[in-house]
Amino acid sequence: MNVIDASLKIYEWFGENDSFSLEKDFSSLMNIVEDPERDKAAILCALESLEKYEMIKSCAVKNKKEEEKYWVINRPLESVSQNIEIDYQLALFISEIVNKFSKRLDRKDTYCDPSNISTDNLRDLTFIASFLMGDEEEKK
């Protein structure tokens, strides 16, 4: 498992939970584990990355015998936004894909302006990708 894979798992976890403990929650987070120590290392890297961006905070809680580290959501994930820069070629490519798909569905309300790519446009693009991958996922 790499850090990006671990980050996706952690994002999913915090979508449903407010805190995470490596000791208590690792087995719930990971259904299939090939190398537990390496997977834990990837999860720790992902947690540290989220902590760096102040999405979560960590603290140690002293139990009977030892300290246990917890990571807790700093703010709801829905409130986290990102700013990205998109060059002209990519903006044009995104708008062409979204607009072609919108035409096929006869949905003019979802057209995409290449000079003003929005969150909704990117959401539409991910929907299109998910839709097109649907048959492939069912075959697995």
Q: Phi and psi of 107, rounded to 5°?
A: -120, 90
User: Which pLDDT tens digit goes with each residue over 14-70?
Assistant: 999 999 999 999 989 987 778 889 999 999 999 999 999 888 999 999 887 888 999
Q: What is the DSSP string of 92-124?
A: HHHHHHHHHHHHHTT-GGG---TTS--HHHHHH
pTM: 0.67
Tell me what the mean pLDDT of segment 122-140 comes to. 79
> Domains of the chain, with CATH numbers?
3-76 (1.10.10.10), 88-139 (no CATH)
Query: What phi and psi, each to the nearest 5 degrees, are found at residue 124?
Result: -60, -40
Q: Name the E strands within the chain.
A: 19-21, 56-62, 67-73
- How far is Cα 102 from Cα 81, in angstroms, rounded to an integer? 26
